[in-house]
């Protein structure tokens, strides 16, 4: 894992977890330039130390509701390209959809806090979001797969699997490995998905994000 | 007479009585209640005659039945008047009537015709319309008009310059006599204030005694408000437990799982330590997932953050049966209502997944005319019966605590429609 060192602003009100995350990210060569405990401080920290990525909790003081999520959306309204990874205790589609709808729809992630414990995968997700990727927690994706929604009705089971992996933020190569398929087969599936979801050719990464958004049914 | 007017009687004996606002309030009270009684009398006579004539062709019968309810608005006006003039201490804001256990006009009518208070109020309305108002208007008329005429003697004479006709009884030419009459008028006004106030206090005591809730009615009012307090307390407790688990156990568990994840990086690959750490790690992740579901079951955060539609959509996501969700709400609803609605929907979805055999379901919610209506429809086999204890009674109880009603239509072969109706008003939100 030789991802470039990232400058990170971290917002998490639990001290234990905050310190743990700082240590964890440092171990992989990233630098947490500011670690704060509430949404106000997050806004200030992003202004003072322009980061490569913001990692924030959903629930934070003072209201102990979705302050972190709203701060993330507000930050992306001001700087649409700012990569933000939101950590949450909730497997809820509406939170993920709200976040993905913000800014340009690129460089966003919504992960359950449980995912931090899979240390390497977590750090890979941080790098993916910082690089402009989209990452949605596998648990949220899994739940949505159980539902049949109109635009997805037309997808074959295999195509739905591929779309789920795209939503998890995997690259084509990673999808090949996960499903034991050839690169060409994955490419064909993705082409079919984009066609069936009425996403005409445009800038490549953007269409993938739109497909994920369609998938979340925001 | 009654404890409700004791304050007024005490005031009457005090020297400061004449300087207080009490005589004026008493006069206002008699004037207002007398006028209202007169109007009521006219309205009742016209309606009764019309109804009597129409009774021959049966149209008049419902009109006569409706006439029995005339006491309701009249009593409400009387109670308002009593509170406004502050002559009767113990008149509560809520009347003696119960809230119907189900919405709709038929239920309301059934309850009202059965309530003792309805007939008590009708009796009072009839009394006010045919007996009380002449007395009231005569008393207030004499107490104000006679001294008023006397007082007016001097100003009228000065304006006219020649003569003034006092009380149509005698003509006065001399300013001196007129001044004396004016002075007498002021004294008479002060003296008249006493009987005026006494009559008003008696009238207030009578109205208060008849129209205030008593006995059982009072107790039901208390029970309703104590139930509402209990629901609120229960709701607050739920949130507290959820918050404690979220900020405490859940945070620590995440930190623990993270520490285990880091430890695994340091362990020799394929060593016994590595496999034990992997095992511990798996278990920690399991506990985290279970705790997450538990916390969501106690109180879903999305309900607090985004309200009922989003919370129901998330409950639908969780359901193994595909569920379509559509809500039409203008704003957030009171927390207790959102909570009752959400938990009822989520239990309905659980039932549906377990028993209905449905292939798809639909949740539809809207708010109109003070009523939140949520329907859960499925295309299953139907035949759901509350008597079989499939959790339907528990569901009805959830809705009942916020004065809501649950109805179920589930013919064998389906479809099943579960309908909740909860009276409430949306809260205006800034967002």
- Give the torsion through C-alpha atoms of B290, B293, B299, B304, to 10 deg: 130
Judge if pTM exceeds 0.80. no
Chain A residues 162-201 with a CB less than 8 Å from chain B = none
Q: Which residues of B touch A66 (CB under 8 A)?
A: 301, 305-306
Put simply, the chain B residues between 161 and 200 with a CB less than 8 A from any chain A CB are: none
Our CA-based measurement puts residue B405 at a distance from the nearest CA of chain A, in whole angstroms, of 29
- The answer to whether B254 contacts A143, with C-beta atoms less than 8 Å apart, is no
B302–A90 CB contact, under 8 Å: yes
Q: What order of strands is seen across the sheet that includes strand B416-423?
A: B323-328, B361-368, B371-378, B416-423, B405-409
- Average pLDDT score over residue span A148-156: 68
State the pLDDT confidence band at B256, using cuts at 50, 70 and 90: very high
pLDDT single digits (tens) A15-29 = 889 999 999 999 999
Q: How confident is the model at residue B1 (pLDDT cuts 50, 70, 90)?
A: very low
Task: Tell me which chain B residues have a C-beta less than 8 angstroms from the C-beta of A147.
Answer: 316-317, 322-323
State what percent of residues in chain B have pLDDT above 90: 19
| Chain A residues in contact with B295 (beta carbon < 8 A) | 89
**DSSP class per residue in A111-145:** EEGGGGGSHHHHHHHHHHHHTT-EEE-HHHHHHHH
pLDDT digits (tens, 9 = 90+) for B90-132: 766 667 777 776 667 888 888 888 888 888 889 999 998 899 9
Q: Mean pLDDT in chain B?
A: 84
User: What pLDDT does B374 receive?
Assistant: 94
Does the pLDDT at position A150 exceed 70?
Answer: no
Percent of the residues in chain B that have a pLDDT greater than 70, as a whole number: 92
Per 3-state DSSP, what percentage of chain A is helix, strand, and coil (rounded to 5)? 55, 15, 30
Determine how many CB atoms are found less than 10 A away from the CB of residue A38: 18
Q: Which residue from A21, A23, A90 is facing B301, i.e. has the nearest CB?
A: A90
Bigger pLDDT: B62 vs B276: B276
Reported as a single tens digit per residue, the pLDDT across B6-31 is 888 888 888 888 888 888 899 999 99
How far is C-alpha B379 from the chain's CA centre?
37
- For B216, other C-beta atoms within 10 Å of its C-beta total 11
- By C-alpha distance, the chain B residue nearest A216 is B317
Q: Kindly state whether B262 is in contact with chain A, defined as any CB-CB distance less than 8 angstroms.
A: yes
pLDDT at B312 over 90: yes
pLDDT computed for residue B428 by the predictor: 65
**What is the average pLDDT across B379-383?**
80
Sign of CA dihedral A77, A78, A83, A84: negative
A133 forms beta bridges with none
- Structure-block tokens of residue B93: 């804001």
Residue A145: closest C-alpha in chain B: B317
pLDDT above 60: residue B239: yes
Whether the pLDDT of residue A203 is over 70: the answer is no
CA distance to partner chain A, nearest, from residue B384 (Å): 25
Q: What is the ipTM of this complex?
A: 0.74
For A47-65, write each residue's pLDDT tens digit. 999 999 999 999 888 777 8
In this prediction, residues A88-114 reach a mean pLDDT of 83
Residue A207 burial by CB count (10 A; 0-12/13-18/19+): exposed, middle or buried? middle
Residue B431 near chain A (CB below 8 Å): no
Q: Determine contact: A62 vs chain B, CB below 8 A.
A: no
Please indicate whether, in this complex, the C-beta atoms of A144 and B285 are within 8 angstroms of each other: no
Question: H/E element holding A187?
Answer: helix A183-196
User: Residue B388: pLDDT above 70?
Assistant: no
Given an 8 Å threshold on Cβ–Cβ distance, is A119 in contact with B305? no
Compute the count of residue pairs across chains A and B with CB atoms less than 8 Å apart: 93
| CA B298/CA B300 separation, integer angstroms | 7
Q: Is B247 on the interface with A (CB under 8 A)?
A: yes
The mean of the pLDDT values for chain A is: 84
A93 vs B: CB within 8 A: yes
Judge contact between A98 and A67, C-beta under 8 A. Answer: no
């Amino acid at each position: 894992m030789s991802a470039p060192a990232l400058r990170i602003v971290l917002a998490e009100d639990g001290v234990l977890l905050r310190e743990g995350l700082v240590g964890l990210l440092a171990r992989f060569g990233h630098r947490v330039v500011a670690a704060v405990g509430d949404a106000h401080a997050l806004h200030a920290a992003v202004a003072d130390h322009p980061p490569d990525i913001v990692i924030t909790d959903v629930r934070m003081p003072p209201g102990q509701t979705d302050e972190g999520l709203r701060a993330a959306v507000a930050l992306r309204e001001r700087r649409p390209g700012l990569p933000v990874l939101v950590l949450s205790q909730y497997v809820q589609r509406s939170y993920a959809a709200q976040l993905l709808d913000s800014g340009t729809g690129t460089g966003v992630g919504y992960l359950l806090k449980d995912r931090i414990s899979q240390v390497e995968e977590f750090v890979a997700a941080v790098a993916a979001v910082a690089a402009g990727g989209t990452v949605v927690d596998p648990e949220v994706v899994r739940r949505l797969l159980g539902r049949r929604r109109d635009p997805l009705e037309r997808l074959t089971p295999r195509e739905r699997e591929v779309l789920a992996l795209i939503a998890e933020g995997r690259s084509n190569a990673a999808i090949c490995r996960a499903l034991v398929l050839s690169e060409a087969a994955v490419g064909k599936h993705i082409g079919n998905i984009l066609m069936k979801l009425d996403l005409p050719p445009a800038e490549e990464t953007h269409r993938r994000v739109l497909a994920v958004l369609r998938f979340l049914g925001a | 007479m009654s404890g409700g007017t004791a304050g007024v009687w005490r005031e009457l004996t005090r020297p400061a009585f004449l300087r207080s606002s009490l005589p004026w309030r008493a006069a206002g009270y008699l004037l207002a209640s007398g006028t209202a009684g007169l109007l009521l009398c006219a309205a009742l006579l016209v309606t009764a005659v019309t109804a009597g004539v129409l009774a021959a062709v049966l149209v008049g019968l419902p009109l006569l039945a409706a006439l029995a309810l005339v006491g309701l608005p009249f009593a409400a006006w009387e109670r308002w008047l009593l509170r406004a003039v502050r002559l009767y201490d113990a008149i509560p804001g809520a009347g003696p009537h119960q809230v119907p256990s189900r919405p709709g006009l038929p239920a309301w009518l059934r309850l009202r015709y059965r309530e003792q208070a309805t007939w008590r109020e009708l009796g009072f309305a009839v009394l006010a319309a045919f007996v009380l108002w002449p007395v009231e208007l005569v008393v207030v008329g004499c107490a104000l008009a006679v001294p008023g005429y006397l007082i007016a003697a001097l100003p009228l004479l000065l304006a006219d310059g020649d003569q003034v006709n006092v009380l149509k009884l005698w003509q006065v030419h001399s300013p001196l006599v007129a001044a004396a009459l004016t002075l007498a008028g002021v004294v008479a006004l002060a003296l008249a204030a006493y009987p005026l106030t006494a009559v008003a206090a008696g009238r207030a005591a009578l109205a208060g005694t008849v129209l205030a809730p008593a006995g059982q009615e009072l107790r039901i009012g208390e029970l309703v408000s104590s139930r509402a307090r209990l629901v609120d307390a229960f709701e607050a407790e739920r949130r507290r437990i959820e918050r404690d688990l979220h900020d405490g156990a859940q945070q620590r568990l995440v930190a623990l799982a993270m520490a285990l994840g880091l430890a695994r990086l340091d362990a020799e690959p394929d060593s016994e330590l590595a496999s034990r750490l992997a095992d511990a790690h798996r278990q920690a992740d399991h506990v985290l997932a279970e705790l997450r579901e538990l916390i969501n079951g106690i109180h879903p955060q999305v309900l607090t953050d985004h309200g009922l539609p989003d919370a129901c959509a998330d409950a639908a996501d969780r359901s193994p049966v595909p569920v379509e969700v559509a809500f039409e709400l203008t704003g957030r609803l009171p927390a207790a209502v959102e909570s009752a609605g959400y938990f009822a929907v989520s239990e309905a979805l659980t039932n549906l997944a377990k028993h209905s055999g449905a292939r798809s379901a639909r949740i539809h919610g809207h708010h109109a005319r003070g009523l939140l209506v949520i329907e859960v429809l499925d295309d299953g086999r139907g035949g759901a019966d509350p008597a079989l204890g499939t959790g339907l009674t528990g569901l009805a109880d959830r809705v009942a605590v916020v004065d809501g009603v649950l109805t179920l239509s589930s013919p064998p072969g389906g479809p099943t429609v579960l309908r909740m109706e909860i009276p409430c008003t949306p809260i205006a939100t800034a967002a």
